[in-house]
């Protein structure tokens, strides 16, 4: 059933991550001061943020996002296949990771590298993850949403507990090189969030460039971009078309949770996320 490996107490996707390699990454991978890292728990809108940041880098010109697969534009630190690309790349690098805080390369914590940590309502993360993984031949396939719901609350899913991932990374939120973003604000006011990202990265866009970033990172346009919509993933890894851009709707969980599940989730959220200031989680 499962191609997951366990490292540091966290289930990781064995198809792309190797135990010995991840150990090496954690201790030895050098994050450089000029690096920019996109970090998230899976299904939080990670690829949308990558697409947006790539477009900011090209000032809205879509050539790069339309000619290079998204995983080559911002390679995943924990994937063995990225390693050579990453260490041989000169100059500022764009990197992606879902690694939890305690497995992230230690070199980061004494670097000036910039990190953007993207969070999303975990109920929507759960639903998005269910629809994504139940189609894949790899990793761990939940038979029903009820099963996946139970796994998710226990942290028995790829990259472990959402609650622990988020709690640990949020401990960095006051640092100057850490930008906290959330999916819901990106949906509600993408223009302001693009400006916020530009300020953080020290970039400036003219109004027409900003409009191009907005256009090419929009749900409909990105869904058509074969370099970003996962249609390039080989068929032997999925049962049928693997859809990355499924609905993109905040609050879709309401269409899938039972009343009992919604109540159970609220209880766990309140217990596990106690102590954070009100307003940090816009969906609550």
Residues annotated as catalytic are 98
Q: Which residues contact 25 (CB under 8 A, 6 or more apart)?
A: 77, 78, 105
Residues in 47-86 that interact with ligand A3P by CB under 6 A? 47-48
The answer to whether residues 281 and 273 touch, using CB atoms and an 8 Å cutoff, is: yes
Both tokens of 277, joined, read 């200031």
Q: Does 230 bind ligand A3P (CB under 6 A)?
A: no
Q: Does 42 bind ligand A3P (CB under 6 A)?
A: yes
The answer to whether residues 123 and 256 touch, using CB atoms and an 8 Å cutoff, is: no
Both tokens of 102, joined, read 């305690």
Q: Does 226 bind ligand A3P (CB under 6 A)?
A: no
Q: Which CB, 19 or 191, lies closer to ligand A3P?
A: 191
Q: Given the rule CB under 6 A, which of 42-50, 100-108, 152-160, 196-204 is the region that contacts ligand A3P?
A: 42-50
Q: Does 222 bind ligand A3P (CB under 6 A)?
A: yes
Site mask for ligand A3P (CB under 6 A), range 142-171, x = bound: ------------------------------
Q: Which CB, 27 or 72, lies closer to ligand A3P?
A: 72
Both tokens of 124, joined, read 């929507």
**Long-range contact pairs involving 147-150 (C-beta distance under 8 Å, separation at least 24):** 149/257, 149/261
Q: Which CB, 76 or 111, lies closer to ligand A3P?
A: 76
Site mask for ligand A3P (CB under 6 A), range 232-251, x = bound: ------------xxxxx---
Q: Site for ligand A3P (CB under 6 A): which residue of 58, 219, 225, 262?
A: 219
Total residues at interface with ligand A3P (CB under 6 A): 21
DSSP state of 277: P
> What whole-number distance in Å separates Cα of residue 56 and Cα of residue 238?
32
> What whole-number distance in Å separates Cα of residue 38 and Cα of residue 201?
12
| Residue ranges binding ligand A3P (CB under 6 A) | 40, 42-48, 124, 128, 131, 217-219, 222, 244-248, 252
């Amino acid at each position: 059933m499962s191609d997951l490996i366990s490292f540091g107490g966290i289930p990781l996707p064995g198809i792309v991550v190797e135990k010995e390699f991840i150990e090496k990454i954690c201790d030895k991978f050098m994050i450089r001061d000029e690096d920019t890292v996109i970090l998230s728990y899976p299904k939080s809108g990670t690829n949308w943020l990558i697409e947006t940041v790539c477009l900011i880098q090209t000032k809205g010109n879509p050539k790069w996002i339309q000619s290079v697969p998204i995983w080559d534009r911002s390679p995943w630190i924990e994937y063995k296949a990225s390693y050579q690309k990453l260490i041989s790349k000169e100059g500022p690098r764009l990197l992606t990771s879902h690694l939890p805080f305690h497995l992230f390369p230690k070199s980061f914590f004494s670097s000036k590298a910039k990190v953007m940590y993207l969070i999303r309502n975990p109920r929507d993360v759960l639903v998005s993850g269910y629809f994504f993984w139940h189609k894949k031949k790899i990793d761990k396939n939940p038979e029903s949403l009820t099963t996946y719901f139970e796994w998710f609350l226990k942290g028995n899913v790829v990259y472990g507990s959402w609650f622990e991932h988020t709690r640990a990374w949020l401990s960095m939120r006051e640092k100057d090189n850490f930008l906290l973003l959330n999916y819901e604000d990106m949906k509600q006011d993408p223009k302001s969030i693009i400006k916020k990202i530009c300020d953080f990265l020290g970039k400036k866009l003219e109004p027409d460039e900003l409009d191009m970033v907005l256009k090419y990172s929009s749900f409909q346009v990105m869904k058509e971009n074969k370099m970003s919509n996962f249609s390039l993933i080989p068929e032997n890894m999925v049962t049928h078309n693997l859809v990355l851009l499924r609905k993109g709707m905040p609050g879709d969980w309401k269409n899938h949770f039972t009343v009992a599940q919604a109540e159970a989730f609220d209880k766990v959220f309140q217990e596990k996320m106690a102590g954070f200031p009100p307003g940090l989680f816009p969906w609550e």
